[in-house]
A and B are shown apart, each in its own frame.
Chain A
Amino acid sequence: MLNNISLGRYYPAHSFLHETDPRVKTILYFIYLVAIFMVKEPVTIGVLTGVIILQLALGKITPGILWKTIKPIIPLALFIFIINILTIKDGDVLFSWKFITLTGYGVERASIMAVRLILLIISTSILLTLTTTPLKMSDALEGIFKPLTVIKIPVHEMAMMMSIALRFIPTLASETDKIMKAQQSRGADYDTGSFINRVKGYITVLIPLFVSSFRRADELAVAMDARCYHGGKGRTKLNPLKLTLRDVLAGIMFTLLAVLVVVIDLSLR
């Protein structure tokens, strides 16, 4: 079951967004992050959703993949929705029973909150994880933050660490699964008992997982050493990032769309 984690996983395909320069995508991602948090009106949220649907199409993301990506956060979105609906007491009362009061305004705000969270996840996935391989993403971060090397921030090393961490997520997930199965066959039980007992049960999983992660890290370090890795200095790239006119235009277009949405939103208030 742990092998099915799709959050943070690359979806191989050939699409407009897959081929867009990852630096452009990363910058766009930050712009959309801000836009999603600034927008408050239902109309503009709708427009923003439209823009994101356009991006989904450009990234050739199938509904199945999309569903897998947002499924894990639906409980959280629901939780936020319910909390908001119960705590916002302004506006016309729609329904009231004992201490529960639902207001029109509350429902509206709660829906916007929940929708925003889902948009945030979708936006992260389509602009970054689903359409960009971890190595490209770390290349992009390295490219964007390169100026920081002047003030002695090890940008290349940090980017490399990030891409290795992402590369090992599936490996460690299957390792966790193996350890749990082995312990279950020795009588461990993770699903029953008190909360404390369950947490304790997971500790027995974490110890071997840590030990094996250290072992893997050790072996990987030796393997990287053997392949002559010595930091970012003098390294070449198989697929160097190339900013084309198309990338620039795509960047400008989507930035303008985001700005437009925010401007409309502000003017509506």
Chain B
Amino acid sequence: MPDDPKRIVVKDVSFSYDVTDENDSLASRLALDGINVSIAKGSYTAILGSNGSGKSTLAKIIDILEVPDSGKVVVFGKDAGDDDLFWDIRSHCCVVFQNPDNQIVGTMIEEDVAFGPENLGVPNPELRERVDQALKDVGLYELRNRETTALSGGQKQKLAIAGALAMKPDILILDEATAMLDPSSRDDFLELVEKMRTEKGLTLITITHDMTEALRCDKIIVIDKGKAVLEGAPEEIFMLDNLWDYGLKRPVKFNFAFEIAKLTGSELTKEDLLSDETLLDALEKMLSKPGLKAPETADEDNGGDSEKEIIMSVKDLSYTYDGSDVKAIDNISLDIRKGEVLGLVGESGCGKTTLISHMNAIFRPKEGDVIIHAKDGDLSCSNKKDTMKIRQNVGLVFQYPEYQLFEETVFKDIGYGLKKMKVSKEEADVRVKEAAYLVGLTDKELGSSPFELSGGQKRRVAMAGVLVMKPGILVLDEPASGLDPKGRQEMFKIIRNLRNNGTTVVLVSHNMDEAAKNCDRICVIDAGKIKAVGTPEELFENNRAEELGIQIPRITRFSGLLRARLAKTHPGIVFDGVNFDPEKEAGAIVRAVCKMGGADAK
């Protein structure tokens, strides 16, 4: 039924990009390899897959932004290969891309929204009505005469949605549209899109790395190496054990549930995964099985509570940008302890980046100071003479560091800082290699151009370029953003390794799951001020997170529901602490129930 008017059908489509290989001759890289996909009109589909699996190419094929080498695309009964239907199909399909800045054409907000319908030749007054309505739908109507550059990331993505809605599409594709947003604007954005979908009857396709986001959809399609390998409802897909092979993993709460099932020797069914309620029912039943065995306590690799020695002190630091009346950071005092991983969390624009820019004297303190307690004495960020020494002691990796590479080879790029420090060539060679191995790069990559590498590898090169200076303190701004689940996990493995080798890490993160799991202490920043500092356990106990205005880690939220239920059925149950690793938390729950004697105690 390739001509079904109610489906988007992609049949046996192959597509390859032209790339130049090492010998400067043209080669082609296969992005889609005979892919077959069928998406129903009005459905909500998630497309998952690792970086480079061909997801985005598939989106482009559906919108005819790329023409398949072979195969057939039929959108709601219209053949995309038919030149007469080309504009008809494209004008009813809109895509919102990842980077908000690179899809805005207009300088003024309403001008940008009008760009699409203007291209379609929509006459006035209808054009004006469409633009106004689209702006009202996304809640940007009041700002219509403002400059687009003045918007925040979340608002820019809403603007992109308005630009799409003004074209009255049937299909809306989100190509990692939430990847660059912080959690609260992300939820905001998704709620808006889902509302628009029900109101306007859109077919919604979302390409994402966020498994919990995928759970909101009716259907999931998993793409690997240019082929659709799995297809089904979220509860079917997340039942499978081989997701990791495709660079994916289960959403946090499922990870946790499957671990409990394993520990109690039970099985979950796909019906259990349908909602929080059904899942909690199933878990409760498992935990009331007689004869449960308590799992052994996992080895804690806390590396012995970090030494209390202070390595960096931020003292009464305030900073105001030129031409602004608001303090970007306001009287911040913070001690960073040697050997710890300190998380900095807070919404976009709360001052995190301004704060870390002071930590290695990129910004010179205007009020207050930052003191680094280095091996050879104290260094002050307000002292210009200390600048070079500070930058050797404190490595700073900004967000998306892969966009800052510039040398001919990876080797040279990593060694750039050493050259600036006038380190001898022999020593530099050794140190570059050390840094490269530390982030998991091999000799093969060292010889190639940084621009030939994949996104994840480029990021490693950029990190190695900072690590090569052997900084005692490493400051990372969102090191895992934009990576797929496997890439994220590997990034945090690198960070843990660094910490175990004695490096102090300051980690800026939007992702509370990862912050709670990987940090020794977390500092919450809100509107330029420190709202709270403490261990993850302290911050997330007893609904304190709500008070602080931060997200609760998903594992803590879900496990909290289960704990509350168990407290009812097992009065007096005691859990030993909170864990932010789903597997460890599962172990703790099972152990607590076993201590009560399982179901026998009732």
A→B interface (CB under 8 Å): 1, 4, 10, 12, 133-135, 163-164, 166-167, 170-171, 175, 178-179, 181-189, 204-205, 207-208, 211-212, 215-216, 219-220, 222-230, 234-240
Q: Is A220 within 8 A of B398, CB to CB?
A: no
B401 at the interface (CB under 8 A from A): yes
Closest to B363 in A: A181
CA gap between A185 and B474 in the complex, in Å = 11
CA gap between A219 and B148 in the complex, in Å = 17
B442 at the interface (CB under 8 A from A): no
Q: Is B323 within 8 A of A167, CB to CB?
A: no
Q: Is B104 within 8 A of A207, CB to CB?
A: no
Q: Is A163 within 8 A of B107, CB to CB?
A: yes
B120 at the interface (CB under 8 A from A): yes
20 contacts between A and B (CB under 8 A): A10-B147, A135-B108, A175-B403, A178-B404, A181-B362, A183-B404, A185-B362, A185-B396, A186-B417, A186-B465, A189-B420, A204-B416, A208-B404, A222-B60, A222-B65, A222-B97, A228-B91, A228-B120, A236-B117, A238-B128
CA gap between A224 and B124 in the complex, in Å = 21
Q: Is A240 within 8 A of B124, CB to CB?
A: yes
Closest to A163 in B: B107
B106 at the interface (CB under 8 A from A): yes
Q: Which of A167, A222, A226 is in CB contact (< 8 Å) with B104?
A: A167
Nearest CB of chain B from residue A170's CB, rounded to whole Å: 5
Q: Is B99 within 8 A of A133, CB to CB?
A: no
Once A4-B323, A229-B119 are accepted as A-B contacts, the answer to whether A220 and B102 lie under 8 Å apart by CB is: yes
Closest to B403 in A: A212
Nearest CB of chain A from residue B401's CB, rounded to whole Å: 6
Q: Which of A211, A224, A234, A240 is in CB contact (< 8 Å) with B105?
A: A224
Nearest CB of chain B from residue A209's CB, rounded to whole Å: 9
Q: Which of B101, B167, B395, B406 is in CB contact (< 8 Å) with A216?
A: B101
B535 at the interface (CB under 8 A from A): no
CA gap between A1 and B396 in the complex, in Å = 20
Once A228-B91, A238-B114, A238-B124 are accepted as A-B contacts, the answer to whether A220 and B420 lie under 8 Å apart by CB is: no
Q: Is A220 within 8 A of B103, CB to CB?
A: yes
Q: Which of B65, B108, B123, B149 is in CB contact (< 8 Å) with A133?
A: B108
Once A226-B63, A227-B163, A228-B167 are accepted as A-B contacts, the answer to whether A236 and B398 lie under 8 Å apart by CB is: no
Q: Which of A134, A219, A229, A238 is in CB contact (< 8 Å) with B99?
A: A219
Nearest CB of chain A from residue B209's CB, rounded to whole Å: 18
Q: Is B406 within 8 A of A208, CB to CB?
A: yes
Closest to A168 in B: B101
Closest to A217 in B: B102
Closest to B59 in A: A226
Q: Is B118 within 8 A of A135, CB to CB?
A: no
Once A4-B322, A223-B102, A229-B115 are accepted as A-B contacts, the answer to whether A187 and B388 lie under 8 Å apart by CB is: yes
13 A-B pairs besides A167-B148, A211-B406, A238-B118 with CB distance below 8 A are: A183-B416, A185-B360, A186-B416, A186-B417, A186-B465, A187-B417, A187-B421, A222-B65, A223-B102, A223-B105, A227-B119, A238-B110, A238-B131
Q: Which of B63, B94, B122 is in CB contact (< 8 Å) with A236?
A: B122
B residues within 8 A CB of A220? 102-103, 105
A residues within 8 A CB of B131? 238
B587 at the interface (CB under 8 A from A): no
Q: Is A230 within 8 A of B107, CB to CB?
A: no
B95 at the interface (CB under 8 A from A): yes
Closest to B357 in A: A181
CA gap between A170 and B128 in the complex, in Å = 28
Closest to A229 in B: B119
CA gap between A224 and B104 in the complex, in Å = 9
Top 5 A-B pairs ranked by shortest CB distance? Answer: A238-B114, A187-B420, A223-B103, A207-B406, A219-B102
Q: Is A235 within 8 A of B107, CB to CB?
A: no
B90 at the interface (CB under 8 A from A): yes
A residues within 8 A CB of B437? none
B145 at the interface (CB under 8 A from A): yes
Cβ contacts B295-332/A at 8 Å (1 or 0 each): 00000000000000000000000000011000000000
Closest to A181 in B: B362
Q: Is B118 within 8 A of A211, CB to CB?
A: no
Q: Is B116 within 8 A of A227, CB to CB?
A: yes
Q: Is B145 within 8 A of A12, CB to CB?
A: yes
B residues within 8 A CB of A225? 65
CA gap between A189 and B395 in the complex, in Å = 15
Interface residues of B, CB < 8 Å — how many?
Answer: 66
Q: Is B395 within 8 A of A185, CB to CB?
A: yes
Closest to A225 in B: B65
B87 at the interface (CB under 8 A from A): yes
Closest to B63 in A: A226
Q: Is A184 within 8 A of B391, CB to CB?
A: yes
CA gap between A239 and B124 in the complex, in Å = 9
CA gap between A155 and B416 in the complex, in Å = 45
Q: Which of A1, A134, A216, A222 is in CB contact (< 8 Å) with B107?
A: A134
CA gap between A185 and B123 in the complex, in Å = 52
CA gap between A175 and B399 in the complex, in Å = 12
Q: Is B108 within 8 A of A235, CB to CB?
A: no
CA gap between A224 and B127 in the complex, in Å = 18
B residues within 8 A CB of A227? 94, 105, 115-116, 119, 163, 167
Once A135-B106, A228-B90 are accepted as A-B contacts, the answer to whether A186 and B63 lie under 8 Å apart by CB is: no
Nearest CB of chain B from residue A42's CB, rounded to whole Å: 36
Q: Is A235 within 8 A of B118, CB to CB?
A: yes
B residues within 8 A CB of A229? 115, 119
Identify which of residues 113-159 in chain B touch chain A, using a CB-to-CB cut-off of 8 Å.
114-124, 127-128, 131, 145-149
CA gap between A237 and B146 in the complex, in Å = 18
Nearest CB of chain A from residue B130's CB, rounded to whole Å: 9
B451 at the interface (CB under 8 A from A): yes
B residues within 8 A CB of A170? 149
Once A222-B60, A223-B103, A235-B121 are accepted as A-B contacts, the answer to whether A187 and B469 lie under 8 Å apart by CB is: yes
B490 at the interface (CB under 8 A from A): no
Q: Is A1 within 8 A of B322, CB to CB?
A: yes
B residues within 8 A CB of A234? 121
Q: Which of A175, A219, A230 is in CB contact (< 8 Å) with B119?
A: A230
Cβ contacts B344-382/A at 8 Å (1 or 0 each): 000000000000010010100000000000000000000
Q: Which of B87, B90, B392 is in CB contact (< 8 Å) with A226?
A: B90
Q: Which of B101, B103, B116, B357 is in CB contact (< 8 Å) with A228?
A: B116
CA gap between A85 and B130 in the complex, in Å = 60
CA gap between A175 and B469 in the complex, in Å = 24
CA gap between A203 and B198 in the complex, in Å = 51
A residues within 8 A CB of B106? 135, 167
Identify which of residues 194-228 in chain B touch chain A, using a CB-to-CB cut-off of 8 Å.
none
Closest to A216 in B: B102
B47 at the interface (CB under 8 A from A): no
B residues within 8 A CB of A134? 107
Nearest CB of chain B from residue A256's CB, rounded to whole Å: 32
CA gap between A184 and B147 in the complex, in Å = 31
B residues within 8 A CB of A215? 403
Nearest CB of chain A from residue B66's CB, rounded to whole Å: 9
B residues within 8 A CB of A204? 406, 416
B residues within 8 A CB of A236? 117-118, 121-124, 127
CA gap between A135 and B111 in the complex, in Å = 8
Of the listed residues A133, A171, A185, A188, the one surrounded by the most CB atoms of chain B closer than 10 A to its CB is A185
Q: Is B451 within 8 A of A211, CB to CB?
A: yes
B548 at the interface (CB under 8 A from A): no
A residues within 8 A CB of B404? 178-179, 182-183, 208
CA gap between A182 and B417 in the complex, in Å = 11
A residues within 8 A CB of B401? 182
B residues within 8 A CB of A222? 60, 65, 97
B residues within 8 A CB of A189? 420
Nearest CB of chain B from residue A194's CB, rounded to whole Å: 15
CA gap between A208 and B94 in the complex, in Å = 30
Q: Is A223 within 8 A of B97, CB to CB?
A: yes
